[in-house]
Amino acid sequence: MDKELLVAKAKEARKLSYSPYSKFAVGAAVLTKDGEVFLGANIENSAYPLCMCAERNALYNAYMHGYKKEDLVALALAADTDGPCSPCGACRQVISELFPSKAPIYMANMKGALQETNAEELLPFAFSPEDLK
Ligand code: THU
């Protein structure tokens, strides 16, 4: 699947956002080795700290279908930002643990911007399971 199609899936996911407080809808899509796509959107709550980001929901969705880090090959996210939408710090930490460090992450907006990065670039010196040993 090419990156534009995965970004289009992230934009589709964005339509499922529940974001009445921020009014900022985000969508994400995770592609697996066998061609499955798992979607996520941000889901907010009136108790604000409970809001969950699109990227984490997409990754958790893939894991809840039995997929693991080594099964995942690309991640896309999209929101109505000026430039490519960049994952928040909490999502970077989760991505660093649940998503392969060098696999492409496509950051997009609704106006056609598209920038590729990866987990290593997004969070150098990440805290990792190794640190718990
Ligand atoms: N949000 C995401 O879904 N992903 C990000 O990486 C940035 C922020 C959501 C959280 C909240 O629902 C809204 O965007 C505003 O911060």
**pLDDT for position 1:** 82
Residue 4 in tokens: 């534009």
Three-state secondary structure readout of 91-129: HHHHHHHHCCCCCCEEEEECCCCEEEECHHHHCCCCCCH
Instruction: Please list the rounded mean pLDDT of every run of 10 residues in the chain (133 residues).
Output: 96 98 98 98 98 98 98 98 97 98 98 98 96 96
Q: CB of 24 closer than 6 A to ligand 1? A: yes
Q: Which atom of ligand 1 is nearest to the CA of 87?
A: 6
Q: Which atom of ligand 1 is nearest to the CA of 43?
A: 12
Please give the Cα distance from 129 to 111 (Å, whole number).
38
Whether residue 74 contacts residue 6, with contact meaning beta carbons closer than 8 Å, is answered with yes
Q: CB of 19 closer than 6 A to ligand 1? A: yes
Q: Let me know if 110 is exposed, middle or buried by CB neighbors in 10 A (0-12, 13-18, 19+).
A: middle
Amino acid identity of 133? K
Q: Helices 54-64 and 3-14 meet at what angle, rounded to 10?
A: 100
Q: CB of 55 closer than 6 A to ligand 1? A: yes
